[in-house]
Amino acid sequence: MGEKRRIIFHVDMDYFFAAVEEREHPEFRGKPIIVGA
């Protein structure tokens, strides 16, 4: 049998990090944004 991989997916429902990126990069406004760490 193959190994199982654990995947963690976090969604920031408060939109904080995406809002910061929009502020720093106005060209992102109105577009879907994914912020990773």
Q: How many domains does the chain have?
A: 1
**Reduced 3-state DSSP string for 2-37:** CCCCCCCCCCCCCCHHHHHHHHHCHHHCCCCCCCCC
Q: Are 10 and 28 in contact (CB under 8 A)?
A: no
How far apart, in whole angstroms, are the C-alpha atoms of residue 7 and residue 23?
30
pLDDT tens for each residue of 1-37? 678 999 998 877 778 888 888 999 999 999 988 877 6
**What is the value of pTM for the model shown?**
0.51
pLDDT at 37: 66
Q: Which long-range contacts does 19-23 make (Cβ < 8 Å, 24+ apart)?
A: none
Q: Note down the domain range covering 1.
A: 1-37
